[in-house]
Structure 1
Amino acid sequence: MSTVFDFAAIEACLVEAALDPTRWDEAMERAAKATGSFGALLFDVQGHLPMLPRTRSVARAFDAYVSGGWIERDERFRLVPFLRARGVATDEDLLTSDEVARHPYFQEFLAPCGLRWCALVKIAAGDTFWSLSLQRSVEQGPFSPRELQHLVAFSHRAGSVAALATMLGLARAEAALDAFSASGMAAVMIGKDGTVLAMNGVAESLQARGLIVKGRHLATTDKGATERLNRALQTLLRDQSSVTSAPPVALPRPQGAPLIAYPVRLPHVSYNSLAPCQVIIILVDPDMQRQPPEFHLQTTFHLTGAEARLASMMLTGEPLESVAHRCRISYQTARNELKAVFAKTGTHRQAELVSLLTRLLPKLSDGRPHDETPI
C-alpha cells in the first residue's frame, strides 16, 4: 500500500464536519480514500453509542456490529491503553495471528464482512477522546510500519478538530436551552452517559418545586419513575434510527402534580454519537402551566404547526371529521396529521391523546383567559 497519505485533505474535511455536523459521513469517506482503506468510522472511546460517522462501504458490517451485539463486546476497545499512549494501535499490539484465527470477533463478525486489518488513530483533546477506525479488507493487508508512523503524526495534529467539534457541540446545545427559556420551558441537557450536563434557568427553578438531581442524574422520590426515565433515555441513546423522542415520563414529587419529562433528540444538537449533548429533557410543571400557545406543543413534541393546531383542537373531543372541517383540510390530510401526532406523542388513540394533553395542559380548555388565576 502507498505510504503517501493526504492528511491535509482529511483534516480539512474533519474541520468542515465540526462546523457542519451533516458532513461527518463525508469526512469518513475522505479519510478512507486518503489512507487507502476499505472504510472508516469515528468512535467516541468513552461511550459505546451506535450513531457513528461512517463510510457507506461498511454499512453491512456496521449493521452486523450493532444487531449482533458486537458493539457491546468489541475486542478492539482493549486497545485503548495502546491508543492513549502511542496515538495509534492495531490488533497486532494485543493478539497473535493464532489468537486472531480462533477469536469469535474476527472469525464470526469481521471475516463474513470481508474485513480483517485495522488501524485506530487517536483524535483527542481534553476530556474528548475519539478513535478514527481505518478498516482494510483481507486482500488489502495490514498497515505498514511506515504508514503507522504517518498516522501517529496525524494524530498529534488532529486533536484540535476534537476540541473545535466539542466546543461547537456544546454551543449548539446551550443555544437550544436558551431557545426553550425564551418560550418559558424548562429544559435539561443530557450527555452520552445519561448524566446532566446543564439546565436552563426555568429548569433550575423547578428544583425548588420537587425536581431532584442526584449524582448528576435526574431522579424522583419514586424509584419506579426514575427507572422509567432512565430506560427512556437509554432507548434514545442506543437507537440508531430516526426516532427523535421517547414517551413522556411522570416524575412524582412530595407536593403537587408530577412533573412530566419529555426526552427528545434535536437533530442539530444530537447529530451523532460524537455530540456532547445526546438528549434534551423538556420538563413541564402542570401546576404552573396555563393555556400555552400551540408553539409549546410544537416545541415539546416536535410537531409541525399544522399538527400542533390539530392536536389542540382534538382536546374538544370533536370527531376528526369536524376538526378537519374546522381546519379546512381534507379528512385524509387530517388522518395523516393525526397519525404523526400519535407517533410523536407516544399515543395510539384520540382518548389517549386527550388524556395526555389534558394532564400536560390542564387549563387549555377551561375557558379562562391565559393570565387568569383560578380562585
Structure 2
Amino acid sequence: MLDAAEFGDAVAMLYEAAMVPDVWPGAIARLAEIVGCTGGLLFAHSGQGTNWVASKEFAPVFDRFMQQGWMNRNARMAGLLAHGGTGFVTDHDLFTDEELARTPLYTDFLRPEGYGWGTATHVRSSSGDDIVFTLERRFEMGPVSRRETTLLDGVRPHLARAAVLASKLQMQRAQASLASFEQAGSPAALIGAGQGVLAANTSFEKLEGQVVIGARDKVAIDDERADALLQKALSELARDQLGDTRSIPAPRRDDRPAFVIHVLPIRRQARDIFSRAQAMLVVTTSERSLQIAASLLCELYDLTKAEAAIAAGLLEGLTGEELARSRGVNRETVRSQIKQVLAKTGCRSQADFIRRLAPLASRK
C-alpha cells in the first residue's frame, strides 16, 4: 500500500497539473511508477477530436498510435466505455487471452511496440468529453494485478476531480479572453477542431447576417469570395505557409460596414488537453482600429512575459539592437527570444510576424 507521504505527493501533483498543464507528464509518470508501469497518458476525446498528454517515455509511442489512425479502431477504449465501471480496469477485465491474441490493437500495434498490458479508467466531463487515463506496462513485465488497480482506485477520485477542475479552468480562461476583446469593442469567437464556434462574445453575435453560424456551429461569411478564404484559412490552421491569408476582408452589407476577420491559430508550447479551441477569430471594422494590447494576443501563443515584451517591441518597429538596449540585456539574449517568438507563433521571419500581427496590435 502507499504510505501517507507517497499518496499525498501523487495527489498533490494531480491538482497542480489541473492548474499548470506542464505538470501532467510528471504526474502521469509518478502514478505509473507507483504501480510498476512504464508510462501512461491522459486524453480527452470528443466529436471534435482528441487532445492528449503523455509521460515523457510513452509520448512517442502514443504519437505513432495517433498517426497510424488507431484512435478510430481503439478496441480497448470501446471496451472500457462499454464496461461502465467506476474504477481502474485491466486488459483481462475487457478481453480473454484468446480475444487479445486476435485483436489488431494488440497484435499489430501494442505488442510490436513492446507493450500490451495496462490499466485504465474513464471519466465523463461536464462538457461531454470522454476523459481516459491509462497506464502502460512493457509486455515482458506481465499484466497489471488487482492489488495495483486497488491502489489506483484510491487515487482515482482525486484524478477525476483534477480533470474536471482543469476543464472548468480552461473554459474560464477562454471566456476571459473573449471578455477582454469585448471590453475593447472587438468581436471575437473561439473556433474548435471541427471549425465550429465554441464560444463568442456579444459583439461577435451582433454580426449575425454578415457572419453566419450554420449546422454544427460552423462559421461562415455571407460573401462567397470572403467565405472561401475563411474556410481555407480554418482548414489550414496546422500548416503555416509564407503568404497565407489570415486577415480576410468582407464587403459592406446593406447598412453594415465592411470588416476584416483575422484568424489567429492558438498555439500551446505545452499541450493543454482540455483546450478544444484551435483558433480565435477577431474582427475589426473599416471604421475603427482594434484597441488590443499586443501582449494579450501573445498570450494566445503561450509566450513568456519576456517573449511577450519582445513581441510587442517588434510590433512597435524596434530593431533587435534597440530591444536589447531598452531591456538592458545583450543582443544574443534578444536574438534567442525573437527565435522563440517566431517558433511559437509559426512565423518564418520578423517580417512575417509583423505582417500577420501588426493589424491586431494596439493603435496609439
Same fold (TM over 0.5): yes
Identity rate, percent: 23
Deviation at 1:10, TM superposition (A): 3.2
- The residue type equivalent to 1:278 in the other structure is A
**In 1: Cα distance, 2:103 partner to 2:124 partner:** 29
Deviation at 1:28, TM superposition (A): 0.5
Aligned in 2, Cα 1:213/1:136: closer, same or farther, shift over 3 Å?
Answer: same
Deviation at 1:162, TM superposition (A): 2.7
User: Hey, what does 1:278 align to over in structure 2?
Assistant: 277
User: Hey, what does 1:289 align to over in structure 2?
Assistant: 288
CA contact (8 A) 1:82 1:89 kept: no
Segment of structure 1 superposing worse, 336-345 or 82-91: 336-345
CA contact (8 A) 1:87 1:155 kept: yes
Q: Give the secondary structure class of the aligned counterpart of 2:133.
A: strand
Cα deviation, 1:230-255, whole Å, max 9, x if unaligned, reads 4145x38xx9xxx9xx9615274662
Aligned in 2, Cα 1:132/1:23: closer, same or farther, shift over 3 Å?
Answer: same
What is the Cα-based RMSD across aligned positions, in Å? 4.4
**In 2: Cα distance, 1:339 partner to 1:40 partner:** 29
Cα deviation, 1:38-84, whole Å, max 9, x if unaligned, reads 11111113368565222122133123223333344333222243353
Q: Give the secondary structure class of the aligned counterpart of 2:274.
A: coil
User: Following superposition of structure 1 onto structure 2, how do residues 306-325 of structure 1 map, counting pairs within 5 Å?
Assistant: 306-311=310-315, 313=317
- Say if 2:261 is the partner of 1:263: no
Deviation at 1:31, TM superposition (A): 1.2
**In 1: Cα distance, 2:287 partner to 2:348 partner:** 24
**In 2: Cα distance, 1:81 partner to 1:310 partner:** 50
**In 1: Cα distance, 2:39 partner to 2:355 partner:** 49
Q: Give the secondary structure class of the aligned counterpart of 2:84.
A: helix
**In 1: Cα distance, 2:344 partner to 2:166 partner:** 32
Give the unaligned 5+ runs of structure 2: 302-306
- The residue type equivalent to 1:173 in the other structure is A
Output the TM-score relative to the length of structure 2.
Answer: 0.72
Q: Give the secondary structure class of the aligned counterpart of 2:52.
A: coil
Segment of structure 1 superposing worse, 82-91 or 110-119: 82-91
- Say if 2:48 is the partner of 1:38: no
User: Following superposition of structure 1 onto structure 2, how do residues 1-375 of structure 1 map, counting pairs within 5 Å?
Assistant: 8-46=8-46, 51-126=51-126, 127-149=128-150, 151-152=152-153, 154-156=155-157, 158-191=159-192, 193-207=194-208, 210-215=210-215, 216-221=217-222, 222=224, 224-233=228-237, 235=238, 248=246, 250=248, 252=250, 255=253, 256-257=257-258, 259-265=260-266, 267=268, 271-275=271-275, 277-290=276-289, 295-296=293-294, 299=297, 304-311=308-315, 313=317, 344=345, 360=359
- The residue type equivalent to 2:37 in the other structure is S
Aligned in 2, Cα 1:193/1:26: closer, same or farther, shift over 3 Å?
Answer: farther
Cα deviation, 1:257-303, whole Å, max 9, x if unaligned, reads 453232332649x842223x43341312241333858x348727868
Cα deviation, 1:291-334, whole Å, max 9, x if unaligned, reads 858x34872786844445545649xxxxxxxx789989899989
| Alignment size in residue pairs | 341
**In 1: Cα distance, 2:262 partner to 2:100 partner:** 47
Deviation at 1:30, TM superposition (A): 1.5
Deviation at 1:212, TM superposition (A): 2.1
CA contact (8 A) 1:185 1:283 kept: yes
Deviation at 1:32, TM superposition (A): 0.7
**In 1: Cα distance, 2:23 partner to 2:190 partner:** 23
CA contact (8 A) 2:114 2:139 kept: yes
User: Hey, what does 2:304 align to over in structure 1?
Assistant: none
**In 1: Cα distance, 2:18 partner to 2:356 partner:** 39
**In 1: Cα distance, 2:343 partner to 2:60 partner:** 32
Cα deviation, 1:96-116, whole Å, max 9, x if unaligned, reads 434433444223322232111
